Structure 1
Amino acid sequence: MSVRLDIAFFASSLVSSYWNGAATYYRGMVKALNDLGHRITFFEPDAYERQSHRDMPDPEWASVVVYRPTLDDVHRSLSRAARADLVIKASGVGVFDEVLEREVLSLKRPGTQVIFWDVDAPATLERVRRNPQDPFRPLIPKYDLVLTYGGGLPVVERYRALGARDCVPIYNALDPATHHPVAPRPRFRSQLSFLGNRLPDREARVEEYFLKAARLFPGGDFLLAGSGWGDKELPPNVRYLGHLGTAEHNAFNCSAGAVLNICRDSMAENGFSPATRVFEAAGAGACIITDCWTGIEQFFAPGREILVADSGEAVARLLGELTRERCAAIGVNAYHRVSAQHTYAHRARQFEEILGIARDKAPALAGVAP
C-alpha cells in the first residue's frame, strides 16, 4: 500500500512571489506532492509585504498557515506542525530562521522525519565556511536529510563533509498546468527579455549579459522585469516593467524573440543550478539564451535546446544571428525536453524515491511525453 504523508513545510511563501524567487519551486513541488496523495500544510510568515502582494489565493492543494513574525507565533506554528509525519524547514524563510532551524529538530520522533531543504545551497555553504561558529553548522548532522534545489555533486560533497547524513538535489522543474504557451501580448514584445529581481550577487552579471548586450546592440528592443531596478541607469533601448506577477510569466516568455537567463554569482560559480525560470520559459516554448554555468548539458542540449553565451558580446552576437525560424525551433526543442524529463511530477516521484516510499502502481505522468 502506498504511503500518504502529512507534511509540515516551513518556507518563505507559497502564495506570493514578491521578493521570493523560490515561490514557483514551492508551488510546483507542493502541488505535485499533493497530486500523489500527500497532505501539505505550508507555514509562511506575514513579512516583507508578501501578503499584500499575493499573486494567488490559498490553493486547494495545500493548507496555508500565515503566522505573524513573532516568536510566540513561530512556536504556535511549531506546535501545530508536531502532528506531521514529515517536517521540512526550507532555507531563507526570512523570519526567525535560526529559531526554526533549531526547533524543528525537537519535533523528531519515531515515525517523524525532519528535513532541511536548501533553496540557496551555495550561499548557505559559503556562509558556514566563512563562519565556523555559524549556529546552523552543528545542526546539519541532526537532520534526517538535506535536500537542495541545485548544486549537483559539489554541493552534495560539501554538505556531507559537514556531517549531513545525506544530501540530494531536487532540481527546479516545470508545472505544465501553470507554465505553457499562450498568445503573445504587445506589452511584452521585445527582441530579448530578462526577468529577475535586483540582488547584490546578480547585478554585475545583469550588467554584463543584459545591459552590456543592449548597449552593443542599439537597434534591438530589450525588456527588463523584476523588483528593484527602478533607480538603475538603463540604456535607452531597455524598457523596465517593474515587478511581474507569476500570472503574467507565460505571456512574458511567449512574447519575446528570446528570453535571457542570468544566474546569481554563487549559482554560476558552483554550477548545476538551473533557475526555475529556465524551465518556465522552456515550458512556454521560448528560445532561451543563458549565461555559462557548469552542468547545462544535464538539462538541455546547448545549441539545440538552449543557447549559451559567455559574455555580453556573445549575447549581442547571438541576437544578430538569430532568425525567427531558429528561435522557434529552439523553443520547440526545449519544450519537448522539459515536458519529457523535467516536470514537477518527475521531481515528486524522485522525492518519494528518496524517502523510500513505494507505490503499488505508478500512474502515468499527466501531460508528460513518454
Structure 2
Amino acid sequence: MKKHPIIWTNVLLFSSTFLVAAIAVPYYALTVGFTAAEIIAAILCMGYCGISITAGYHRLWSHKTYDAHPFLQWVFAIGGAFALQNSVIHWSSDHRDHHRHVDKDDKDPYSANRGFWFSHIGWMLRDYQGDSYYDYNNVRDLQKNPILAFQHKHYLLLALLTNIGIPLLLGFLIGSIWGMLLSVGVLRLVLSHHFTFFINSLAHIWGRQPYTDQNSARDNGILAFLTYGEGYHNYHHIFEYDYRNGIRWWQFDPTKWLIKTCSWLKLTRNLRIVPEDRIAQAVAKMQLKRAQDKARLLPNSEQLLQLLEQEYQLLVAKLQEYYQVKKELLQQKHAALLNQYNASEFAQRYQELKQHLQQQQNHWQRLTAAFH
C-alpha cells in the first residue's frame, strides 16, 4: 500500500502539545499549583473554542442549518482559529465530503472504517489529500462570505494571535504567565482538539443507532457532554440539516440552546428543523428492521414478518394522519381562519388522533420489544 508523505508540522504540533499537557501540566500543578483564575480561564476558553466549532464551523457553515448575524460569525471565526481547527473553508470542505461519502475509505477524509486511530488523528498526520488540499467546488458558497475569506487568508496570523496572545494577556493580567500558558495555552488546546476528534472516531464506534444503520454514526450521551451536543451523531447523519443534534428536551445540547437563545436576540434566524413525522418514521423503521432480523431466526418466521409489516404500515398511516392534522391545525390557528366552533371541532379531532396514535405506538413498542 502506498505510503503517503508525513505532514511533519501536524506531527510536531500534536505530539509536542500532548507531551506538554501530559508531563509539564501535572508537574506544574504539583509543584506550583494552578489558581482558580487559571482553571476557570481554561474552562471558559475551551468552551469558547468548542462552541465556535459546533455552532459555527459545523452547524452554521458546513450544514447551513441556520443564518447568523455578522457579529456572531466573527465570534465563531476567531474562536475556530483559537481552537486551531484550520480555516472554516477547509474544515467545511472536509466535513461535507465526510457526509457525502461517509464510511467510504477512498472518499471519506476520516472514514471510521479505517480504524479509530485513522479517524481520530491519523488522517491529519499524512498527506492523504495530496494536491486536492480541499475541494473548492465543495465550498463555493463559503468562499463568497467575506468573513470566511478573511479568516481563510489570515488563518495563521489569527491562530498565533489567539493561541499565544490570549494566554499571555491573561497571564499578564493575573501575574501568572507560565500558569496561563500551560492551562489556557496548552491544556485547553489539547483537550479541545481531542474532544472534537472524538466525533470523527468514537462517535462512529461507540453508542446506539436509533435512527439509521446505513452508516457507522452513533448516538452517545457521554460524547454529547464532552462536545457540546455533537454526540447525538446517529441523528445528525440522517438529518444533517437540523440545527439540533439532541432533539429531546432532556438531551444535553448546549449548542442548540445557544442557537435558539441567539434567535430571540436577533443574532440567528431561519433555524431549520426536521418535521416530527420524519423522525418518528425513522425510529419506527429501525425498530422494524431489528425485529425482522430477529424474526427471521424463529420457526414461524414468514407469519411473523408479515405481522410486523402490517403493524408497521398501520403505524405509519396513523403517524401521517396525526401529523397532517396537527400541521393543518397550527397553520389555521396562525392564520386565524378558525372560528370558535371550528377550532373546537378541529382540536377535538386532533386529540382523538393523538390518543389513537399513542395507543398504536404503545402496541408497536410491545410488539417489537418481544423480539429483543
TM-score norm. by structure 2 comes to 0.28
Structure number with bigger Rg? 2
TM-score if structure 1 supplies the norm length? 0.28
Of Structure 1 and Structure 2, the greater strand share is in 1
